[in-house]
Structure 1
């Protein structure tokens, strides 16, 4: 099937969604809300929610609850606050070929719009939300691939998710095919063209750009509905984009490319984390035996800061410290995100003794996957080296549903309580089967204060 992205967006129906895609969307719903729960405890989330209250009052578009907050702002405001909240903990779903993340923008944006639609008597059911979410993921992934292939700079996920949010949001608002073209163009033009490596070299709250990509897409959808023009989106309709869109409707990039994180830090650190976990276990080692660590990996990964992180931003874009935490504690989870853990002398000793080595072969092959190997140097002179590794959670080495559930509860239970977490998990894992009242209940659980 050869179809334009705007025809795809308007014409997609629930019966077109394969079981494999629905499974991904359900997993991403649960996984992303778990990250939102723990993200709501961060200073970044608190700042962004205060900002949304200051700048994004409720207007004629309706009111939307901010994730894990309960207070109501405009859909754009809720999208911004929610995206920053999710992105504040680097544990959400991702897409390796685009070097980024879609769910961290799509869920806060589309849930905000769905909430505002319901506040005006136009409530969605789960089937309709699944159609819209599928459009958002597929357009985001393909726009992201196009952008990375045609733009010189490495832009954040906010740049291309703005296109996906705009397209899916316009579909939710009942826009015509031509209005959807304009929405995508507006989102692309006004979305953040932020430089990802700047935040990796100098970690701060700006993160992966989705905090502005999400509201840019939401705003684009509402503007297009009112007649604002902006087509064409070059990442969707240019001649250079054709190779990334020719199989739209036949193949699902969302199924082929979505990965899930086992650890709350940059994906580029994950092959090293998996490798060192196995080395410590297989050789029954204790952290007191470790003298030094050598990590061979691809170029971009060697630029990750973090031998002595001072903030969660530093931790998120680090390899040495998370690897040292795995060596010392055997885990990288919520406890490792605390101030106390960032000052742990045992972790810091090993982190400072960790060397990141650029490997030309890993740089060459780290396109659709990320590669690394780890050597542990012991105080007695022995050396243990792992085989080359790519991360668990990739489509060819997926996390199980049980692992996704365990991660969700690890992140959410301490923040929102076990009972609320269980209800969110139950509803989100079958969200596409919910009627309007049950789907409204799921939104309320996601937006209630913590």
Structure 2
């Protein structure tokens, strides 16, 4: 233990008890209507990500795993027509939520709170037979705790960790709220969750893409488990929130809502690649260029984005953490979704040929704005030597460059259609729009 940590032990407890009391008092009735409405958008969007991700290999592996390791019939494994216990359902649904990298995010933490919060909230709410209002209260709280935990985590640690690290605290808070923990139990749930968090160095995943990805499949159920252990009397060390310098994030809980500044993704790939897609589509749309017309593509971007691979991907995970592939497949298909991540597309000679024409250039102009803004510039040269420049483009879906309500709705329908009928999709949308009236979350889960 270093001297700084030892010196502030008393303050760590004080701050964590303060946070635990605020979590205990956090109430749906006091949440602004704007936030309540936006939380429905978050739920719909994340359910789309889960349903779209449920057809992938990682999701299939997670389903097989929970069937063996977490047997049970209490909770729904979404899109799989199967059941598990509360931990197993959280585990499987969290893996599906991030499987195609189309889940929401929060720029200041460079990560994905929704995929950690909502799988936990749905599983615990179904298990405990909670109402729609109670579900939404926990989801909003989870986003607020998760985004704050991510800021604290990245300030405290010198290494950029995955969402699964700080997200454990969010899913623990969700569980504690839904199960009506007392202050002492909340305190121990948060501390235990942080202590058991998966410490994944994120940039290694960028360099070596795999199904582990952002640690979300591990982080979400770890938070739920930690909370359930606290309920049984297990004690935990105080979390990082207790340091005096982080008191402002405790004070702002219930006053400022980070959930309003999430981004939503239109493409199934790393957010860092998406400005390049937007810039490419902008040029193609204005100049009516076909794939065969293109001679060269240059993408000027921030250094983290330029670190994404440009090599031909051999699997879906490599395709998502690639910058050249999603640009090339968008030129051919006009979109990046589950069907653009299958082996047939990864081996498509036209797409691979376009990838060879793409050059990625790290540009300090865009470093200054990241992570608050995710921007790039695209330059395309056609076979005749004409040069087209997109100008600075920002990733679509940020809170200050949002997807429209219609675009969010169409995105959900697009992703849900892989596993649900049109009638089922409309019923899910209607139920979420009226979620406050839902007596039992079990009714929603039956549709999923």
TM over 0.5: yes
> Per the alignment, in what secondary structure is the counterpart of residue 79 of structure 1?
helix
Structure 1 window deviating more from structure 2 (426-435 vs 200-209): it is 426-435
Number of corresponding residues: 433
Would you say the 8 A contact 1:306–1:317 is kept in 2?
no
Give the drift of 1:251.
0.8
How far 1:389 moved relative to its partner? 1.4
Q: Secondary structure at the match of 1:377?
A: strand
From 233, 245, 256, give the equivalent of 1:240: 245
Give the conservation status (yes or no) of the 8 Å contact 2:145–2:173: yes
Is 1:94 aligned to 2:105, yes or no? yes
Residue 329 of structure 2 is aligned to residue 329 of structure 1 = no
Moved more, 359-368 or 68-77: 68-77
Q: Confirm whether residue 65 of structure 1 aligns to residue 72 of structure 2.
A: no
| Structural mapping, 1:187-336, within 5 Å | 187-234=193-240, 236-255=241-260, 257-336=261-340
Distance in structure 2 (CA, Å) of the matches to 1:383 and 1:392: 24
Asked if 2 retains the 8 angstrom alpha-carbon contact of 1:79 and 1:108, the reply is yes
Over 3 Å counting, the alpha-carbon distance change for 1:361 and 1:150 in structure 2 is farther
Instruction: Tell me how far 1:36 sits from its aligned partner.
Output: 1.3
Partner SS, residue 414 of structure 1 = coil
CA drift of 1:16 comes to: 1.2
- Please give the per-residue CA displacement for 1:373-428, whole angstroms capped at 9, x wherever unaligned: 11112222221111111111100111111111111111111322211111111112
Please give the secondary structure, in 2, of the residue aligned with 1:148.
helix
Shift of the alpha carbon at 1:435?
2.1
Structure 1, 239-248 or 7-16: larger mean CA deviation: 239-248
Is 1:31 equivalent to 2:36 in the alignment?
no
Name segments (4+ residues, structure 1) moved above 4 Å: none
Q: How far off its partner does 1:166 sit?
A: 0.4
Partner Cα distance (2:433, 2:269) in 1: 24
Return the alpha-carbon distance in structure 2 between the equivalents of residues 110 and 35 of structure 1.
15
Q: For 1:159-199, what per-residue CA distance to the aligned partner results, in whole angstroms no more than 9, with x for missing partners?
A: 11100110121111111112111101111110111111111
Distance 1:423 1:243 in 2: 41
Report if aligned partners of 1:9, 1:168 keep a CA contact under 8 Å in 2. no
Write out per-residue CA displacement over residues 233-266 of structure 1, whole angstroms, 9 at most, x where no aligned residue: 11x22223234333222111111x2110111111
Distance in 2 of aligned mates of 1:357 and 1:242: 40
TM-score w.r.t. length of structure 2: 0.93
The residue number in structure 1 matching 2:60 is 46
Deviation, 1:306, is: 4.2
> Separation in 1 of the partners of 2:231 and 2:294?
61
* Match in the other structure for 2:114: 103
Q: Deviations over 1:116-151 (max 9, x none)?
A: 11xxxxx21111111111111100000001111221
Superposed displacement of residue 111, structure 1: 0.9
What stretches of structure 1 of length at least 5 have no aligned partner?
A: 118-122
Q: Summarize deviations over 1:337-364 as a string: whole Å, max 9, x none.
A: 2222112211111112211111122112
Q: Report which stretch shifted further, 328-337 or 5-14.
A: 328-337
SS in 2 for 1:93: coil
- Pair 1:423-2:417 in alignment: no
What residue is the counterpart of 1:435 in the other structure?
439
Distance in 2 (CA, whole Å) between partners of 1:428 and 1:305 is 38
Deviation of 1:33 (Å): 1.2
- Change in Cα spacing, 1:274 to 1:383, as seen in structure 2 (3 Å) is same
d(CA) in 2 for partners of 1:247, 1:73: 37
For residues 334 and 134 of structure 1, the distance between their equivalents in structure 2, rounded to whole angstroms, comes to: 28
SS at match of 2:446: helix
The yes-or-no answer on 1:171 pairing with 2:177 is: yes
Unmatched segments (≥5 aa) in structure 2? 1-14
Q: Is the 8 Å Cα contact of residues 138 and 174 (structure 2) preserved in structure 1?
A: yes
Q: Is the 8 A contact 2:160 2:202 kept in 1?
A: yes
